[in-house]
Amino acid sequence: MKLKTRSILQELNSIADLRSIDSLIESRAVNIINSAINLLDSIKKNYSTEQADELERRLLNSIRGQDPAKFTRGIRKIAENKRSMNRSVLKEENPENES
């Protein structure tokens, strides 16, 4: 007699199939909402108020529009602005190093 081995993911999926779709959707929604709350808290701690508001707006628009690239562009824009500001500060501190 040959035993069939199943992965943990297969087991979890079979359990999910047994639960009602309402419970499954509720559970996934709660996880996503909690993750989004944690993300927004992190954004507020690590960015200025203006940048955090912009990223929050982009996050919500990304979800509404089903386009994660909107949020990614916002993060890249902020990162590029930081790099530009750092380069400007370095040039001001060391004007003799300008090319």
| Residue 30 to residue 18: CA distance in whole angstroms | 19
Q: What phi-psi label fits residue 6: left (phi over 0), alpha (psi between -120 and 50 degrees) or beta?
A: beta
Whether the full predicted model's pTM is greater than 0.85, yes or no, is no
Is 71:59 a contact under the CB 8 Å cutoff? yes
CA 95 vs CA 80, 84, 99: distances in Å: 22, 16, 9
pLDDT, tens digit only, all 99 positions of the chain = 455 667 888 777 776 565 677 888 899 999 999 999 999 999 999 999 999 999 999 999 999 999 999 999 999 999 999 889 888 877 777 766 555
First to last CA, the chain: 77
- Amino acid identity, position 65: G
Give me the residue spans of the domains in the chain. Answer: 19-97
